[in-house]
A and B are shown apart, each in its own frame.
Chain A
């Protein structure tokens, strides 16, 4: 009895720990700023994020990624070499990245003024005056093409690519951010300039600042960084994702010792009503690291794979729900059957009370570890800002998890994950998959 009480108390205690305070405002030009004060280390993380990810590529797959990749290869009067030297001479780390939804510029710098100022000035120049030189463009395009070729030697990359194609059909989420050899080959430097002009604008920008800067310093930094960006417009929302009409199985014959298996459907979006039910349900099904049903059935009981897991990848629109594993070629059918049956059982009966209790303890007990570094805080601030989640998203996370019942989860999975619509991809050697 005493032990029971102790566990209950432990599960609730993180609620008393307030997640970091996020403050938000708009710059005079209409960009949103999300700021968290973290004074312990003399450093700051700055991210500028645009709704300019690969979902904005149109038919030119790879356009958003190559645009982002070109930014720091020449800006203002500085060459790629000079830009890199400017950052690295003050110990700053700079990078650009794209996802399906976003394109970001990220800076990690010390906050001592001369170092900080030089790093921020360099970032600002990259953001506002990229030159898209033909020579830099040709080189970076060739590097992208080599990377696209290289990924064809990876069965896991091929499985990913094919899975997204079958799950999303003609939706802008269907292609990979890097694009394809044919579409990237067709890109020109002018395409990139046009894309940059349209999407890298104040109205479409989000600034995240986490670190040892006062609110006043953060406000000035954000304003300075974006001062020379044109106001522009926020682009129209990308279309909804529709569900596939029927189940599909696609096999790619590949000379590997293992077959990579991915199976799933469009899942949920960031502001989904079923977010917590699906999130916690998936934690039990296959998201919980070394403890989950898929891990237990595929790896622990049968030794069929090194990793076996499932996930939801919520985005602006529905990201994929997917289950994945890799197994010796001749075990593919067995592993796929176990995976499919595990899902079917979970949808049919939902989690047990004990499983839900364990998941709640895990998620609430480990709640504070979700934001114990500046990097993680910056990631949350960006997510909350970009997707328009409530500022108290983190603070209310434990209570939303604790409020769930077995029926909530069972009901959500029944409505949202239809096993009859599963899109399944296998990449490996000479497996004979029987028809379902």
Chain B
């Protein structure tokens, strides 16, 4: 049985762990609110752009001279998996869920005889992917220096992806991130980003714009909007990821705090029992000594 001093030490160490998890939980709750607000305010732009893209893609998409970003390279051999993770841990299964989804896709593609390469965003996805695919990591985008991934990062990532696409390094790109449903639920999501999947045309939007004038013309506008649409999608994914990370972190830390509380209760009971046992033993010794006189 552990000595009294040892028990006391353990109780104290669990208590300080609990303090840390509790603090992290409160920080995550505050950050979650901010991240959610950021995701909220990004919606109007994304929504408008998607509507415009839908009507344009509907007009140009069928033609032979559709931009490469929309029509694809014509091949389907090399797949790039863009995996967006966070830089910090303490967020439960948040990062491993995304990595798991990406690995499942990679295994599926490899089984079909395709080549798979990775483009990693954030620090936490690197180690587990490198373990399984040590030579397939094409690029690692470092986000450790930025506090909150924003539009500037999305722009840089998009530029690098476009450069790789132009150079013919891949044919299809998939994006993996975690969709924010609620603080309790985050869904690892896969989304094809290149070639750009045409947004669904809303019947109302297409019908109302009877005679829209285009300046310069549809093709050129579309060619300019496609990279922008890609950026917006990446930006949206980064924001969703940020909110998901905080949500997952909050839940995980809440659990950790509760577990620590339970452990403290158990250890305290054990501590009190051993203390009583020690006192009883001492009393018996004294009484026995007194009686012997």
A binds B: no
| Chain B residues close to A by CB (< 8 Å) | none
